[in-house]
């Protein structure tokens, strides 16, 4: 199970918060896995809402959505302006029409490092467990 989160400072970067086992479809999730992921999302939404961001959560899966690895996931995107919202929707539409290309190991590693730093700050500031 993946939870894809686009944090404000990370631009289009994502983090993957996954369960112990790979889940291809929503119906494969256990109740515990789903609730744990949604509780984490709720904490992030509360944290960013206090800072003036809007949160958008949606599910787009499969090849037509630009997905290259079959796994269940939700998207959680934070925006602070209408322009960010519009550009984010355009990026998703592009992925659905054209597809997406995987990041190199080096690109992915750099993005993960930046996001871990931000999440560590968030979890400490808001009292969330990392």
Supply angle C-alpha 77, 12, 97, rounded to 5.
Answer: 90
The 10s digit of each residue's pLDDT in 49-74 is: 888 888 887 777 677 666 677 777 77
- Three-class secondary structure of residue 42 per DSSP: helix
Q: Structure pTM?
A: 0.62
- The residues of the chain scoring below 50 in pLDDT are 1-2, 11-17, 129-130
């Amino acid at each position: 199970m993946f939870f894809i989160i686009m944090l404000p400072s990370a631009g289009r970067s994502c983090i993957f918060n996954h369960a112990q086992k790979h889940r291809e479809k929503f119906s494969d999730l256990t109740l515990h896995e789903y609730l744990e992921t949604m509780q984490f999302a709720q904490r992030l939404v509360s944290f960013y809402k206090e800072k003036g961001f809007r949160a958008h959560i949606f599910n787009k899966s499969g090849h037509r959505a630009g997905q290259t690895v079959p796994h269940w996931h939700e998207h959680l995107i934070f925006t602070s302006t209408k322009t960010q919202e519009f550009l984010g929707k355009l990026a998703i539409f592009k992925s659905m029409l054209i597809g997406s290309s995987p990041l190199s190991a080096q690109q992915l590693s750099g993005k993960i490092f930046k996001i871990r730093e931000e999440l560590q700050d968030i979890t400490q500031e808001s009292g969330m467990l990392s």
